[in-house]
Amino acid sequence: MAIDIQTLKNSGILDYPFFVRAQEQGSVVTITGYNGSVSNSMEDITAQSAPNNTYLSVSTDSGATLDVQTTAAGDAVAGTGAQVVRVHYIDTDWDEAYEDVDTAGVGSESTTGGDILRVQRMEVVQTGTGGTNAGVIYLRENGGTTSRYCVIPAGGNISKAGFMYIPRNHTLFITDVILQAYYSSAQLVSLYLYYEQLYGTDEYTEAFFPLHSEPVNTPFGRHIKFQTPFVIGERCRVRLRGVGNATSDIDAAAIGILVATG
């Protein structure tokens, strides 16, 4: 079960008039998330797994260095798997940035900029003949093994963390959500859009919005089109969260337009 850009194109979402107009001023954004075992309490739709650190918390706003940790020998510069990983993040000015990191087989390589304030996502941008990452790739704290800020599952090529930070001088307009779910026993599965305002290093919840609930026990897919877009301002975080049972499998994507406002 997976949602990718081709699925979105096939659905016709990217052909909607709003997207055609908005792309003249901004760019299409997809916030993808996956969680293969959603419990009966609220949790992130993320591939991270426990410990589920979906944001980087630092003691000051001075930024940080992180480690890209690879777990397979094939994920190396000269290997058949992932050779280069791109880390997308918010820097200390609250601008979007990225850094490419060479992989190191069974080992770690550090970012060098030292200005990572919040992690956005991580993706494989160069591979060997295998065409994808051979093992799991983690983005962790520098020199540590506890926190997981992003995870790319083996063969996944991209993290599906289910969240996004809005850079300064930008606004995100969320217009659609795609939901796919499966669970093996009758259980209500619910999907939520969670919104948080950030101030410095403190984060607190502003609001959350129920998107969809369905009490059936067969696989299903839903396309939720909002009559009025959700508007998310700068320096905020938006997350996909859900409730199910121990066997609920949820794959989701929020689609919108990120527009520069300053």
pLDDT score, position 146: 74
Choosing from 86, 118, 152, the residue where a domain stops is: 152
Report CA 43 to chain centroid distance, whole Å.
14
Whether residue 248 sits in one domain with residue 180? yes
Please tell me the predicted confidence (pLDDT) of residue 59. 45
Q: Are residues 84 and 30 in the same domain?
A: no
d(CA 42, CA 239): 12
Residue 136 within any structural domain of the chain? yes
The pLDDT score that the predictor gives to residue 46 is 83
Q: What is the structure's pLDDT at 79?
A: 96
One domain, residues 120 and 88: yes
pLDDT at 54: 45
CB of 161 closer than 8 Å to CB of 54 = yes
Residues 170 and 221 in one domain: yes
Two structure tokens written together for 159? 């993290």
| Spatial separation of the C-alpha atoms in residues 145 and 139, rounded to whole Å | 9
* Residue that terminates a domain, selected from 103, 119, 152: 152
Cα–Cα distance measured from residue 91 to residue 64, given in angstroms and rounded to the nearest whole number: 9
Range of the domain at 83: 66-152
Residues 38 and 96 in one domain: no
Instruction: Give the total residue count for the chain.
Output: 262
206 and 255 share a domain?
Answer: yes
Residue 148: predicted pLDDT: 80
Count of structural domains, the chain: 2
Q: Are residues 169 and 231 in the same domain?
A: yes
35 and 102 share one domain: no
Q: With respect to residue 56, please indicate whether it lies within any of the assigned structural domains.
A: no
Cα(35)–Cα(50) distance, integer angstroms:
11
Residues 144 and 185 in one domain: no
The two tokens of residue 140 are 């962790």
Q: In the 8-state DSSP scheme, what is residue 161?
A: B
Compute the distance between CA of residue 105 and CA of residue 107 in angstroms, rounded to an integer. Answer: 6
Q: Is residue 60 part of a domain?
A: no
Quick check: 63 and 91 in contact, CB under 8 A?
A: yes
Cβ contacts of 202 within 8 Å, gap of 6 or more: none
DSSP string, 88-100: EEEETTS-EEEEE
Residues of the chain with pLDDT under 70: 1-26, 48-61, 183-188, 198-206, 215-219, 245-247, 262
Q: What are the tokens at 166? A: 């809005």
With a CB cutoff of 8 Å and minimum separation 6, the contacts of 224 are: 176, 177, 178, 179, 211, 212
For position 178, what pLDDT does the model report?
87
Sheet holding 66-70, edge to edge: 107-110, 66-70, 137-141, 150-152
Q: Which of 131, 152, 173 is the last residue of a domain?
A: 152
Give the CATH number of the domain where residue 224 resides.
2.60.120.220
Q: Would residue 241 count as lying in a domain?
A: yes
Tell me what pLDDT residue 17 has. Answer: 52
Is residue 138 domain-shared with residue 179, that is, in the same domain? no
Closest CA to 18 of 250, 237, 225: 225
58: in domain: no
Q: Are residues 245 and 174 in the same domain?
A: yes
| Bridge partners (DSSP) listed for residue 152 | 137
Asked, for residue 40, whether it belongs to a domain, the answer is yes
Q: Is 57 inside a domain boundary?
A: no
Residue 4: per-residue pLDDT = 47
- Do 187 and 123 lie in one domain? The reply is no
How far is 218 from 240, CA to CA, in rounded Å? 22
Residue 80 lies in a domain: yes
